[in-house]
Chain A
Amino acid sequence: MPETLGDRLKRVRTERGLGLRETAGKVGISATFLSRVETNAEQSAPSEDVLRKLAKVLEDDFDALMQLAGRVPKDVAAVIKGDPGMPEFLRTARDQNMSGEKLLKMLEDSKKKKGRS
């Protein structure tokens, strides 16, 4: 089974040696809520602000947590909303099985080539 947001939060927290209540306290949420998220019992995913704080406290990847929570970061949503060509670009990338990681690598490679020429 793929790792859920709760599985990941619990795994990373345990790897970092952080306690449940300690982590909840640092993030400013109740231990009950964090516990329910970790055990996949919570129906509503944590907000973007909470996930950002969790990523900071757990030294984890914010975008990965957002993706597992099924949320789109506000800044990314703004990019899509602000550029009419963006949805088509994303659909094309998806149809060509281009992952975000691959696209990023292509952009970096292209930047390097430009730098050399």
Chain B
Amino acid sequence: MNVPLKVPYLEARAIESAATELLRRYAKWKGTPPRPPIPIDDIVEGLLKLSLSVDDLCARLGSDVLGATWLAEGHVVIDSSLEGNVGRFAFTLAHETGHWQLHRPIIEMEKVTVPLFSREPNDKATPAIVCRTGKRRDPAEWQADTFAACLLMPASDVRATVKAAFGDELPTTEGIEARRKAGELDPWLRGVADHIIEQGNFENVSNEAMRYRLLDLKLVVDASNPQRKLL
């Protein structure tokens, strides 16, 4: 079923706060603040007490399904194709956590209708959020992606790492925004992201995710941006 999950509008700032709040809860539960790499498995299984499985979701629910969350059972399933990919696995798990934190309360208030899916072939179908790669632009999927980025790459940690690596001068180059809009891979930005991942121990973050995070946090500067001097 390809009906998008209809959720209320959420600002990026509100999503960032929700992710930060979850990290605070984790710190309180664990007795120490989490540092990158953010232990997403422990947040899911330990703190939130969700059941985690890794299974062939593609075979059961379609080739474009990488993650799904069964709401009544509190069960998260990640597609087995991601097992060897540390960054994508963590991001997908954090994305499902985003659905759990942001959308489950709305669903529980029955303000949103969720389609039913069976977790195992002979199981009864129950409400589940099934994430398809082709649905990334749906608001609910965008919100869960934003939550995942904020959770795995806390703004304070990314900022501190950029400052430690580059000092007070933010890394700057020409045409970042133009290339981003064109969906082109920026070799310079790729290098910066690799450096930040290594320096900040963001071991469970992909280069692509870090590139977007650096852009969203405005920690890389487009030299051709006329507003740059005003900042």
Q: Which residues of A contact B55 (CB under 8 A)?
A: 32, 35-36, 39, 41
The CB with the most chain A CB atoms within 10 A, among B54, B55, B80, is that of B54
Determine the residue in chain A with the shortest Cβ distance to B79: A32
CB <8 Å contact, B83 and A32: yes
Q: DSSP class of B's interface residues: helix, strand, loop or mixed? A: mixed
Determine the residue in chain B with the shortest Cβ distance to A19: B41
List A residues 30-56 near B (Cβ within 8 Å).
30-32, 35-36, 38-39, 41
CB <8 Å contact, A38 and B53: yes
CB <8 Å contact, B41 and A22: yes
Using A30-B83, A32-B83 as known contacts, say yes or no to A39 and B41 having CB atoms under 8 A apart.
Answer: no
Determine the residue in chain B with the shortest Cβ distance to A10: B51
| Alpha-carbon distance A97/B87, docked complex (angstroms) | 55
Q: Which residues of A contact B46 (CB under 8 A)?
A: 17, 19
The CB with the most chain B CB atoms within 10 A, among A14, A30, A32, is that of A32
* Chain B interface size, under 10 / 10 to 19 / 20 to 34 / 35 or more: 10 to 19
CB <8 Å contact, A35 and B54: yes
List B residues 76-108 near A (Cβ within 8 Å).
80, 83
Query: Taking the complex as formed, is B52 at the interface, i.e. its CB lies under 8 A from any CB of chain A?
Result: yes
| Alpha-carbon distance A41/B55, docked complex (angstroms) | 10
| Alpha-carbon distance A112/B52, docked complex (angstroms) | 49
List B residues 43-82 near A (Cβ within 8 Å).
45-46, 51-56, 80
Query: Taking the complex as formed, is A20 at the interface, i.e. its CB lies under 8 A from any CB of chain B?
Result: yes
Query: Taking the complex as formed, is B42 at the interface, i.e. its CB lies under 8 A from any CB of chain A?
Result: yes
CB <8 Å contact, B45 and A41: no
Chain B residues with CB under 8 Å of chain A are 41-42, 45-46, 51-56, 80, 83, 120
Chain A residues with CB under 8 Å of chain B are 10, 14, 17, 19-22, 30-32, 35-36, 38-39, 41
Inter-chain pairs besides A20-B41, A21-B54, A31-B80, 6 sampled, C-beta below 8 Å: A17-B46, A20-B53, A22-B41, A30-B80, A36-B55, A41-B55
